C-alpha cells in the first residue's frame, strides 16, 4: 500500500480514474460470462431465445405471426359475420402493443383499435390477445386469417429449469457420482503423501535426493503418458478376475496416483521449513520418528494439508479426461463434467438446460473456493514458487 501511494503521488487524478476504469473493465470481462449463465439459468425458457440475458430485467418484445380461427367458428350478428377468439389460447399470455395483417407492416395498428381492412372487413386485436374479426360477407376457407403482432412479456424468472435438469435430465444423479468420485480421491492421497513427505524432508537415507528429483520430474509429466498402459492394466485385471474394468475403486486409485507427486512436493517443502530444533528436542526426549510425525509435524502441517485438499478436490471435481477414460458413460457412473459434455452434444441449442447444468457443475467449486480462498492462495504460492 505504501508502495502504491508512493507511485500514485506522481500520477494525476486523471490517471487514478484511469486505473479504476481499467480494473473495472477487467472485472467486467472476467465476471460477465459467468453472470450470463447464472441469469439465463433462472429465466423462462421462451424468453431466453427472445432476448439477450442482459435484457432480462426489461420486458422482452418480439414480433411474431399467428392465425385467427377458421371460418367454421364464425357467428352471424345482425348483418355481420363475426369470428371471436384469443391469440394466446392455451399459451403464455403476452401483452400485444400493435398488430397488422401484412408482413411488410406487421405493426400497422396499435392494439385495441378497430382496423379497417377494406371491403367491409374489420379487425380488432386487444392488448390481452382477444380479437374480433368481422365482415359483411361470410368468411370462407378452412384456414383463418394470418395476422402479425408485436408483443411483450414482463421479465419472468423461474426455478423450473433447475427442477427439470436435476430430476429429469440426470444432473442430480451425476452430482452424486461426482461426490462419490471426489471425496475419497481427495482424502486417500493426503495420508499417503504426508508420510512420504516427512520421510523425504526429515529422514536421512540413501536414494533420497534421487527420489525427490523423480517426484519433481513427475510433477510435470502429462497425464496422457499414463492413460494407455493404465487402461490396459485395468482391462487385464478386469478380464482376469471377471470384474468390470470401469469402477469407482479404479478411478479413486488413479486420482490418488496422479495427485501424489504434487501432494508430496507441496507437503515436503512445507515440512522441510519447520524449525529443526522442534524435531531435535523431541528426539532427545526419546520420541521416535513415528511419534514426531504424528504429534508434531502432522498438526503443524494443517494449513498445507488443507491447501492440498482444496487443490485435489477442485482438480478431481473438474476433471473430465480421467473420468472419461476410467469410468463408464452409464447414468450410474457419469460424473458432472462428463454429463455436461454429453449434454453439449445432445442438447446443443437448449440453453435453459445447458446453462442450468453448467451452473450446478460450477457451484460446488465456487463455494469451496470462496470459503477457503486463503488456503487455496497459500497452496498456489507454495506449489509454484520454488521454496515459497
Partner 1 sequence: MLSQLISAIVVIVVGVGGCVAYFWGANKLVDLIFPSRGVKGAAAIDNLRRQGLVRPWLFIGPALLILIIYLIYPVINTVITSFQDKSGEGFVGLANYQWAFGDAQFRNSILNNLLWLLVVPAACTFLGLIIAVLTDKIWWGTIAKSLIFLPLAISFVGASVIWKFVYEYKGEGQTQIGLLNAIVQWFGGAPQVWISMPIWNNFFLMAILIWIQTGFAMVILSSALRGIPEETIEAAVIDGANPFQIFWKIMIPQIWGTIIVVWTTITILVLKVFDIVLTMTNGQWNSQVLANLMFDWMFRGGGDFGKGATIAVIIMLAVLPIMIWNIRQANKEGGL
Residues 333-352 within binding reach of partner 1 (CB under 8 A): 337, 340-341, 344, 351
Which of 232, 237, 239, 374 touches partner 1 by CB under 8 A?
Answer: 232
By CB under 8 A, which span of 78-86, 88-96, 153-161, 197-205 interacts with partner 1?
A: 197-205
- Cβ nearer to partner 1, comparing 129 with 379: 379
318 binds partner 1 (CB under 8 A): yes
Size of the site for partner 1 (CB under 8 A): 125
Residue 361 Cβ vs partner 1, minimum distance, rounded to whole Å: 5
381 binds partner 1 (CB under 8 A): yes
By CB under 8 A, which span of 72-80, 148-156, 275-283, 359-367 interacts with partner 1?
A: 359-367
- Cβ nearer to partner 1, comparing 166 with 187: 187
Which of 160, 289, 296, 300 touches partner 1 by CB under 8 A?
Answer: 289
| HEC per residue, the chain | CHHHHHHHCCCCHHHHHHHHHHHHHHHHHHHHHHHHHHHHHCECHHHHHHCCHHHCCCCEEEEEEEECCCHHHCEEECCEEEEEEECCCCCCCCEEEEEECECCECCCEECCCEEEEECCEEEEECCCCEEEEEECCCCCCCCCCEEEEEEEECCCECCHHHHHHHHHCCHHHHHHHHHHHHHHHHHHHHHHHHHHHHHHHHCCCCCHHHHHHHHHHHCCCCCHHHHHHHHHHHHHHHHHHCCCCCCHHHHHHHHHHHHHHHHHHHHHHHHHCCCHHHHHHHHHCCCCHHHHHHHHHHHHCHHHHHHHHHHHHHHHHHCCHHHHHHCCCCCCCCCHHHHHHHHHHHCCCCHHHHHHHHHHHHHHHHHHHHHCHHHHHHHHHHHHCCCC
218 binds partner 1 (CB under 8 A): yes
Residue 101 Cβ vs partner 1, minimum distance, rounded to whole Å: 20
321 binds partner 1 (CB under 8 A): yes
284 binds partner 1 (CB under 8 A): no
Report the site for partner 1 in 101-160 (rule: CB under 8 A).
none
254 binds partner 1 (CB under 8 A): yes
Residue 330 Cβ vs partner 1, minimum distance, rounded to whole Å: 12
Which of 42, 53, 68, 270 touches partner 1 by CB under 8 A?
Answer: 53
308 binds partner 1 (CB under 8 A): no
64 binds partner 1 (CB under 8 A): no
173 binds partner 1 (CB under 8 A): yes
- Cβ nearer to partner 1, comparing 15 with 120: 15
Amino acid at each position: 500500500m505504501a508502495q502504491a501511494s508512493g507511485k500514485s503521488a506522481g500520477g494525476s487524478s486523471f490517471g487514478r480514474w484511469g486505473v479504476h476504469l481499467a480494473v473495472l473493465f477487467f472485472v467486467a470481462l472476467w465476471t460477465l460470462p459467468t453472470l450470463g449463465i447464472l441469469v439465463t439459468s433462472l429465466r423462462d425458457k421462451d424468453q431466453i431465445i427472445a432476448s439477450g440475458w442482459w435484457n432480462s430485467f426489461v420486458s422482452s418484445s418480439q414480433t411474431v405471426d399467428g392465425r385467427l380461427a377458421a371460418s367454421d367458428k364464425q357467428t352471424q350478428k345482425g348483418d355481420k359475420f363475426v369470428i371471436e377468439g384469443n391469440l394466446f389460447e392455451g399459451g403464455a399470455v403476452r401483452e400485444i402493443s400493435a398488430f397488422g395483417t401484412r408482413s411488410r407492416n406487421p405493426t400497422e395498428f396499435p392494439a385495441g383499435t378497430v382496423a379497417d381492412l377494406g371491403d367491409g372487413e374489420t379487425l380488432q386485436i386487444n392488448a390481452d390477445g382477444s380479437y374480433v374479426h368481422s365482415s359483411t360477407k361470410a368468411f370462407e376457407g378452412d384456414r383463418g386469417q394470418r395476422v402479425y403482432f408485436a408483443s411483450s412479456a414482463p421479465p419472468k424468472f423461474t426455478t423450473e429449469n433447475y427442477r427439470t435438469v436435476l430430476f429429469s435430465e440426470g444432473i442430480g444423479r451425476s452430482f452424486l457420482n461426482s461426490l462419490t468420485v471426489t471425496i475419497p480421491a481427495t482424502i486417500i492421497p493426503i495420508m499417503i503423501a504426508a508420510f512420504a513427505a516427512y520421510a523425504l524432508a526429515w529422514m536421512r537415507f540413501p536414494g533420497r535426493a534421487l527420489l525427490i528429483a523423480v517426484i519433481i520430474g513427475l510433477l510435470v509429466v502429462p497425464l496422457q503418458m499414463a492413460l494407455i498402459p493404465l487402461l490396459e492394466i485395468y482391462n487385464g485385471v478386469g478380464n482376469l478376475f471377471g470384474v468390470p474394468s470401469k469402477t469407482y475403486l479404479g478411478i479413486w486409485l488413479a486420482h490418488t496416483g496422479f495427485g501424489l507427486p504434487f501432494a508430496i512436493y507441496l507437503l515436503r517443502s512445507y515440512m522441510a521449513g519447520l524449525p529443526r530444533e522442534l524435531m531435535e528436542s523431541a528426539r532427545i526426549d526419546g520420541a521416535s520418528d513415528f511419534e514426531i510425525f504424528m504429534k508434531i509435524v502432522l498438526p503443524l502441517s494443517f494449513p498445507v494439508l488443507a491447501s492440498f485438499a482444496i487443490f485435489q478436490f477442485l482438480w478431481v471435481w473438474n476433471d473430465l479426461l480421467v473420468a472419461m477414460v476410467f469410468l463408464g458413460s452409464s447414468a450410474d457412473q457419469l460424473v458432472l463434467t462428463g454429463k455436461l459434455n454429453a449434454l453439449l452434444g445432445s442438447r446443443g441449442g437448449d440453453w435453459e438446460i445447458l446453462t442450468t447444468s453448467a451452473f450446478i457443475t460450477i457451484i460446488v467449486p465456487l463455494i469451496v473456493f470462496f470459503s477457503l480462498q486463503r488456503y487455496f492462495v497459500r497452496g498456489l504460492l507454495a506449489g509454484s514458487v520454488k521454496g515459497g
